[in-house]
Chain A
Amino acid sequence: MTRFIIRRLGGLIFVLFGVSILTFFLAQVVPVDPAASALGSNAREEQIEAYRRKMGLDQPAVVQYANYISRLVRGDFGVSIRTRRPVIDDLRDFLPATIELTLAAMLVTVTLGLPLGILAALRRNTWLDGAARLLALAGGAMPIFYIGLVLLGIFYRQLQWLPGPGRLDSTLQPPAHISGLYVLDSLLTGNWNALRNAAAHLVLPAVTLGAYSTAVLLRMTRASMLEMLGQDYVRTARAKGLAESAVIGLHVFKNALPPILTIVGILFGSLLSGAVLTETIFNWPGIGRYATTSVTTLDYPAVMGVTLVAAVIYPIMNTLVDIGYSVIDPRVRAE
């Protein structure tokens, strides 16, 4: 098991190496003079020259790449052109917001999609199955921005049951920065006011972002369960008098799980990309909004930073899914 994980993490290093080459040379072809843009439009020629020398921009591309990597290893992602501060600081501020939102959406997905999918399969062709499938259809068909606007319109503007956009009410101060996840941080510091408020602020964006993945997971779970329910060994299990809960739990669900797990992994990726839209609608100060603003202002150090982070998250998710497989299915480990 440990060897398996080490092997996967070793692979991750190669992926990161490839991504770093890609982002570096992408930055080389962007039609922006890094020195001129870092120093602003009034910089004198000699200032620009001095900056080029200081940052090694007068060196050949290969040397520059080596410098870039050595800076990366030290956690130096460069300085954003737009925000004029280290990209790593920007990421530290904005990434936790996205992670918190994505985790909350994942929670919505798993707590709704999985049980509803199982129930729909077990009560096939009843009203419950119909309702679940309708929900899946709606969640899968409605675009994120539409769901977001409708939810905001009903629960914030009309009923005022839930707070509006943002991570906290503007009059509240965020909890002390530990992980950057407000719910977790306010829990750790015992800041109950912030905890209630942050959790309430999470509800609408999490449901919005999680709607599509809930729909997919629901359908996938239902299909996978149904397939297993029709298998011969299930009939055998029932024939030998096994309790129904044992049949479902040990035989059906466990075997239905691998494809579900795959979907969860893939969905996590789609949640991250869906976060861009959700963050815009809900004024969520996350990395998605940061990325879009950076792209539209040709802020290439920021774009490179975001790309690298995304490139780390995806393989890690894949690795986790693979580890998950090996937990439920020993055959994978033996490979």
Chain B
Amino acid sequence: MNLLHGPRGIVKSMAVILILGMLLSACGQPAAPSAPAAEAPAAEEAAAAPSGEVSRAETLVYGGDFTDLITLDPAVVYEFGGTLIVGNVYETLVSFNPGDPTLIPVLAESWDVTEEGDNWLLTFNLDSDATFASGNPVTAEDVVFSWNRAIDINLSPAFLLTDVCAMTTESTTAVDAATVELRIPQTVSPQVCLSVLTFTTAAVIEKAALEPNMGEDMGQSWLNDNSAGSGPYILDRWDRSVSVTLNANPNHWAGIQPPMKRIIVQNTPELANLQASIETGDADIVFDLGAEQAAALEGNPDVTLVKGLSLILAYIGLNALEPPLDNPDVREAIRYAVNYDDIITLLGGNAELVQEIIPIGFLGHTGTTPFTQDIDKAKELLAAAGVAEGTEIDAIVPNGTGPGGIEWATLAAKIQSDLAQVGLQMNIQQLQSSELLNIYRAQDGKMVFMNWSPDFPDPDGNATPFASYEARSLAWRNDWDDPQAIELSKQAAAELDTERRVELYAELVDYVQHSGPYVMLYQPTRVYALRNNVQGFIYDPADSPVVSFWLIDKQ
């Protein structure tokens, strides 16, 4: 039969598409040997060969939704996935141990806080043993370079240094190779600033390695495919939207020898695929399973489930200048109208009831839950405030899934029906979260459904944004300019005595709870599933790298 005749067009078309693909690949990568590829197989193979064979037993595959991964540059990274990787590749001067809020030395073996005129002077003595993966010593010059670079690049996380620590490129000096001095104004709490310095933004990059590769973007794109850190792992490769591969640093200066020689951080956004990958053993650890997947894995003999609280708080913002929300009694009435227990049930138990601005796990968390649904009380408060039955309030709600795996729309519909019981009509408008944030940031929201996760592991990471109008964060977005809350948040941040600090936060929590512009809803849990042979996994929400890969072993 003359079958060949037919598909000839198809064969041709395939050829053209192929060429199109090759052209495109050639466009983007001028250095690639594009045309006579087949003639140079030897060179190609060398490039393709994996950098050292690592057996599956020594490889940890860590699966989850890493769609947020956009950069691996410590100065730019501000996403969950990015901090996870950067936290294992780079090191900071000081850090926290998982589950313990006491600062521990890393690159700095000791540090001092002294007063110097109007400033705090923080002096860091670097560990003389500290070296980068390249073998070069970590010097004060590298620290100054790294911090100033983050300030100069001024992307998402830079405000931690420039706003929270009030740092400029003049603040840090290298006194000698092993001594770094940081001067910050006395209006900033040195405690809070030290907490900030544990975050990946303050990680130390090797100046000598990065400088020749700075290019036009100060080395941002170079650091996406190369690393220049001192941590237990080295970046091997990043296949965009697929996976990031890390190899163990064979000569870590402090002698950390990770049992897992290779880490593969695998992007698996679909929950069903995530569940399948842990069931089949394709992945060793997966995280952020939904309630449904967790239930399905319960009782699986090969898999252990680990649940841990995240530091995220889900809340509703109530704009304090928009009638009728400008009346504190109306805001209080809304807090009494919500049925919090139902919400926890809706979340399938994947959350804790938290009604304050400081999450469980932070110093200053009080654990008070003054609100349970009380329809009569809410109606009374509304009547006293002169709010008519059927008053409409516009709410904006993000698209997609909120913290704890519940659809934002479902949560909003639940609150809508609660409010209807007290005679308030809540109109829901669903928006793309980027669009919603634009409205919220411009102080144009009325009721806004959102969540907050602290930027650094200190109660101030929540207290100031929620309480201080001056911080131009949450209080500002909700038009809540309250002198007492501002003052309390400042005092608490600057307080050096821990006990007194706890008291101040208790006072602030209580004040914001009843006068503030928020309905605090819950703190979600994160569900991890581990293959049974995985050991040494510690989940700590307050630890900035979130998971320390070098502690993990497999049997």
- Which residues of A (313-330) have their CB < 8 Å from a CB of B? 313, 316-317, 320-321, 323-324, 327-328
Chain A's closest residue to B283 (CB) is A170
Which of B14-22, B360-368, B448-456 participates in binding chain A?
B14-22
Chain A residues closer than 8 Å to B29, beta-carbon distance: 89, 92, 177
Q: Mark A13-33, 1 if CB is under 8 A from B, else 0.
A: 000000000000000000100
Q: Are B273 and A179 in contact (CB under 8 A)?
A: no
Q: Are B56 and A171 in contact (CB under 8 A)?
A: yes
In the assembled complex, the Cα of A232 lies from the Cα of B13 at a distance in Å of 33
- Out of A93, A170, A289, name the residue touching B264 (CB < 8 Å): A170
- Out of A47, A169, A323, name the residue touching B9 (CB < 8 Å): A323
A126 within 8 A of B: no
B67 within 8 A of A: yes
- Out of A82, A95, A181, A249, name the residue touching B70 (CB < 8 Å): A82
- Out of B13, B159, B239, name the residue touching A174 (CB < 8 Å): B239
Q: Mark A32-63, 1 if CB is under 8 A from B, else 0.
A: 00000001111110010000000000000000
Q: Mark A102-115, 1 if CB is under 8 A from B, else 0.
A: 11001000100011
Chain B's closest residue to A86 (CB) is B28
A4 within 8 A of B: no
- Out of A93, A102, A309, A316, name the residue touching B240 (CB < 8 Å): A93
Chain A residues closer than 8 Å to B71, beta-carbon distance: 84
Chain B residues closer than 8 Å to A313, beta-carbon distance: 17, 20
A303 within 8 A of B: no
- Out of B21, B28, B237, name the residue touching A179 (CB < 8 Å): B21
Q: Are A254 and B154 in contact (CB under 8 A)?
A: no
Q: Are B44 and A320 in contact (CB under 8 A)?
A: no
A149 within 8 A of B: yes
Q: How far is the CB of A195 from chain B (nearest CB, A)?
A: 12
B6 within 8 A of A: yes
Interface size class of B (residues with CB under 8 A): 35 or more
In the assembled complex, the Cα of A94 lies from the Cα of B76 at a distance in Å of 24
Which of A136-144, A233-241, A277-285 participates in binding chain B?
A277-285
- Out of A84, A99, A188, A257, name the residue touching B6 (CB < 8 Å): A257
A297 within 8 A of B: yes
- Which residues of A (163-202) have their CB < 8 Å from a CB of B? 164-167, 169-171, 173-181, 184, 188-191
- Out of A42, A170, A190, A323, name the residue touching B158 (CB < 8 Å): A42
B83 within 8 A of A: no
- Out of B27, B70, B270, name the residue touching A165 (CB < 8 Å): B270
Known: A84-B71, A90-B240, A321-B9. A189 touches B41 (CB 8 A): yes
Known: A99-B17, A165-B273. A92 touches B241 (CB 8 A): no
A261 within 8 A of B: yes
Known: A83-B240, A156-B276, A298-B434. A92 touches B28 (CB 8 A): yes
Q: Are B17 and A103 in contact (CB under 8 A)?
A: yes
Listed by A's residue number, 25 A-B pairs whose Cβ atoms lie within 8 Å are A40-B155, A40-B156, A42-B158, A43-B154, A86-B28, A92-B27, A94-B241, A95-B24, A152-B276, A157-B276, A165-B273, A170-B264, A171-B59, A177-B25, A181-B18, A249-B2, A250-B2, A261-B6, A264-B10, A265-B13, A280-B269, A283-B270, A296-B399, A298-B434, A317-B13
Task: Given A89-B28, A283-B273, output 15 extra A-B contacts at Cβ < 8 Å.
Answer: A83-B70, A88-B27, A91-B28, A99-B18, A157-B276, A157-B280, A167-B242, A170-B243, A170-B266, A176-B48, A178-B22, A280-B269, A285-B242, A297-B434, A298-B435
Q: What 3 A-B pairs come out closest when comparing CB atoms?
A: A324-B9, A92-B28, A249-B2
